[in-house]
Structure 1
Amino acid sequence: MKILLTSISIEFPLATYGLAAELQGNSQLLACQVEMIDLDWARLSHYERKNSEIWRYLAKIDAVKPDIICFS
């Protein structure tokens, strides 16, 4: 099973990294693959780049083909 953790990293996404560590450390979830991606806040905060950044982010999600997506 693929689990994708996503976040908008305005600063360091501590909750996302903590959850990833917990998932990877859980012996009942050893067969799970955990990946993380972040929206680029610097690009997202500029109006003229917002649409392209959102589509780039969605393309990343689609490329991973996760079974579960967690949004922070």
Structure 2
Amino acid sequence: MGYGFGGFLVVVGLVLALAVTDTVQGIDLTMVGWIMTAVGVVLIAITAITWNSGRRARNVQTVTHPDGSQTVHENKTTNY
């Protein structure tokens, strides 16, 4: 879903929570707005975490032994 949908939820949620003064019987629009805002913020945070986890560098080294067998060593480094 990504940053766009999370940002959309934050904007619509804040509009409902802070700017809408109409009432709907049985529904608290202010609370719905705050819930949408919180979900949007969590979605943006999850997107940032998952997209940033793919930025790790890998170093793969293959060693060929005299008998013809191979050993593969993989090192992962984190770039911040």
Higher-strand-fraction structure: 1
Give the TM-score band, short-chain normalised. 0.3 to 0.5
Q: Which has the larger radius of gyration?
A: 2
Give the alignment's TM-score, normalised by structure 2.
0.30
TM-score by length of 1: 0.32
Question: With CA pairs under 8 Å and 6+ residues apart, which has the higher RCO, 1 or 2?
Answer: 1
